[in-house]
């Protein structure tokens, strides 16, 4: 089995956001009721109906522009702290809560980085979505979250499979050919939106603004920090927390509940085992395949990390071309994926044909008719209970 290589980034998310005065995590809330229902459905799937937020002490870290926080505020927690260090995000949050006309608990905006935050009290629920990644520093910050939570309290966060990040990592490679390093982020955002709209239009119910997706996924170096894999997450918090629920759901539990005690409880081990039998299902959100051999999926995860690492390394070194080495890595990865699902051959063959061209133009990306629909399940929303 290959050695696992962790992707690195020249800038993390916050550095990139502050450099360009952006908060590219906005949601379309023109239909506010639909937005609230989506967030309610997500938290219900994670074992957190609205009553669990009522009169509780809640901390949310990195709420961005605050759109997703509206649902928690509508549940009327006793205390709701929003820890947001990005000045643009801070402004957006203040503007949002002035503009929205619905009954909300007023949150307390704390303008600090997680590294500098030391609360005087502990929380019932701590939320940190779509923020922390695979770097040693950010994994330490994941551990720090656990300190803020009461015993029996709940951590809500996002972890992820690198398999789910491969399709968009390859889109970054395609973007190399149409971006202009001499132009500003506004220009490159417009170019990339033009190229990838035909891809994003295939995602039913997408609520993120296209320009924000482009800036965060195709331009932001912090993309390469990904999210901690389930194994990393368990390694970092497993001694203090038990996995409660996840979305998507892929864990099956058939053991007699009276056997779930002491050393036999093993909820985290059961969760990891189920994940590694379903890792291949994270490549394409439109497919749901039967479980596969654990060893095969462990290899697929390592190969995904290593492919994304190779792409990140070329970007970090300003070597933004598809050379023979990178092309072979992508081709080999595609060949391995087809072993899991023969129907992936059509979009992957189309991709390989494209990256074999000496020059890739906007129209080439727009005209993809099979790979344009392939987006991974990048996120696993997870809740964990402090023992």
- Mind giving me the DSSP string for 215-234? IIIII-GGGGG----HHHHH
Which residue, 381, 359, 355, is CA-closest to 169? 355
Query: E strands, the chain, where?
Result: 57-61, 79-83, 108-110, 123-128, 149-159, 241-247, 380-386
- pLDDT at residue 264 in the model: 86
Where along the chain do its domains lie? 13-162+226-248+379-386, 163-221+285-373
Q: What percent of the chain has pLDDT over 90?
A: 97
- pLDDT at residue 231 in the model: 97
What distance in Å separates the CA atoms of residue 223 and residue 190, rounded to the nearest whole number?
19
What distance in Å separates the CA atoms of residue 150 and residue 276, rounded to the nearest whole number?
30
- pLDDT at residue 238 in the model: 87
Q: Report whether pLDDT(268) > 80.
A: yes
Q: Report whether pLDDT(1) > 80.
A: no
**Superfamily for domain range 13-162+226-248+379-386:** Vaccinia Virus protein VP39 (3.40.50.150)
pLDDT of 355-379, one tens digit each? 999 999 999 999 999 999 999 999 9
- Phi and psi based region of residue 262 (left: phi greater than 0; alpha: psi -120 to 50; beta: remaining): left
| Mean pLDDT across 266-293 | 97
- pLDDT at residue 321 in the model: 96
Confidence of residue 263 (pLDDT cuts 50, 70, 90): confident
| Mean pLDDT across 32-51 | 98
Rounded mean pLDDT of the chain? Answer: 97
What distance in Å separates the CA atoms of residue 15 and residue 208, rounded to the nearest whole number?
21
Query: E strands, 208-321, where?
Result: 241-247
Crossing angle (nearest 10°) for helices 267-276 and 294-316: 80
Confidence of residue 2 (pLDDT cuts 50, 70, 90): confident
What is the number of other CB atoms lying within 10 angstroms of the CB of residue 154? 24
Contacts of 157 (CB under 8 A, 6+ apart): 127, 128, 129, 132, 142, 145, 233, 381, 382, 384
Which residue, 387, 384, 5, 385, is CA-closest to 157? 384
| Mean pLDDT across 313-342 | 97
| Mean pLDDT across 59-77 | 98
Token pair for 259: 């056997």
- pLDDT at residue 286 in the model: 96
Instruction: Specify the pairing of strand 149-159 against strand 380-386.
Output: antiparallel
Q: Which residues pair with 109 in a beta bridge?
A: 82
Omega of the bond leading into 248 within 30 degrees of 0 (cis): yes
Token pair for 66: 């605050």
Contacts of 363 (CB under 8 A, 6+ apart): none
27, 68 contact by CB (below 8 A): yes
DSSP secondary structure code for residue 101 in this structure = -
Q: Report whether pLDDT(334) > 80.
A: yes
pLDDT of 138-195, one tens digit each? 999 999 999 999 999 999 999 999 999 999 999 999 999 999 999 999 999 999 999 9
Query: Kind and range of the H or E element at 324?
Result: helix 324-340
What distance in Å separates the CA atoms of residue 218 and residue 212, rounded to the nearest whole number?
10
pLDDT of 191-235, one tens digit each? 999 999 999 999 999 999 999 999 999 999 999 999 999 999 999
| Mean pLDDT across 49-72 | 98
């Amino acid at each position: 089995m290959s050695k696992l290589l962790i992707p690195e980034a020249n800038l993390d998310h916050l550095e990139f956001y502050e450099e360009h005065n952006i908060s590219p995590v906005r949601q379309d809330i023109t239909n506010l009721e639909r937005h609230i229902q989506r967030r309610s459905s997500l938290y219900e799937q994670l074992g957190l109906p609205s009553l669990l937020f009522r009169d509780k002490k809640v901390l949310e870290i990195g709420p961005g522009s605050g759109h997703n926080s509206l649902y928690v505020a509508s549940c009327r927690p006793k205390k709701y702290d929003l820890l947001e260090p990005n000045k643009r995000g801070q402004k957006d949050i203040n503007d949002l809560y002035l503009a929205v006309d619905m009954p909300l608990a007023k949150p307390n905006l704390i303008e600090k980085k997680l590294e500098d935050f030391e609360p005087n009290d502990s929380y019932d629920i701590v939320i940190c979505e779509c923020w922390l990644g695979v770097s040693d520093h950010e994994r330490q910050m994941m551990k720090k979250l656990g300190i803020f939570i009461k015993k029996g309290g709940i951590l809500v966060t996002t972890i992820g499979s690198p398999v789910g990040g491969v399709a968009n990592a390859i889109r970054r490679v395609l973007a190399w050919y149409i971006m202009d390093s001499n132009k500003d982020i506004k220009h490159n955002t417009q170019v990339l939106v033009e190229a990838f709209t035909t891809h994003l239009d295939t995602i039913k119910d997408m609520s993120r603004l296209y320009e924000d997706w482009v800036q965060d996924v195709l331009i932001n170096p912090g993309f390469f920090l990904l999210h901690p894999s389930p194994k990393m997450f368990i390694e970092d918090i497993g001694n203090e927390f038990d996995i409660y629920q996840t979305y998507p759901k892929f864990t099956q539990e058939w053991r007699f509940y009276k056997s779930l005690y002491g050393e036999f409880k093993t909820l985290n081990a059961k969760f990891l085992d189920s994940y590694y039998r379903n890792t291949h299902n994270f490549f394409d959100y439109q497919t749901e395949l039967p479980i596969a051999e654990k060893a095969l999926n462990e290899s697929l995860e390592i190969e995904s990390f290593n492919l994304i690492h190779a792409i990140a390394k070329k970007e970090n070194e300003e070597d933004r071309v598809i050379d023979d080495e990178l092309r072979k890595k992508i081709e080999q990865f595609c060949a391995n994926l087809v072993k899991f699902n023969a129907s992936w051959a059509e979009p992957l063959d189309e991709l390989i044909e494209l990256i074999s061209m000496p020059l890739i133009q906007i129209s080439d990306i727009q005209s993809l008719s099979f790979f344009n629909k392939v987006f991974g399940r990048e996120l696993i929303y997870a809740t964990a209970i402090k023992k």
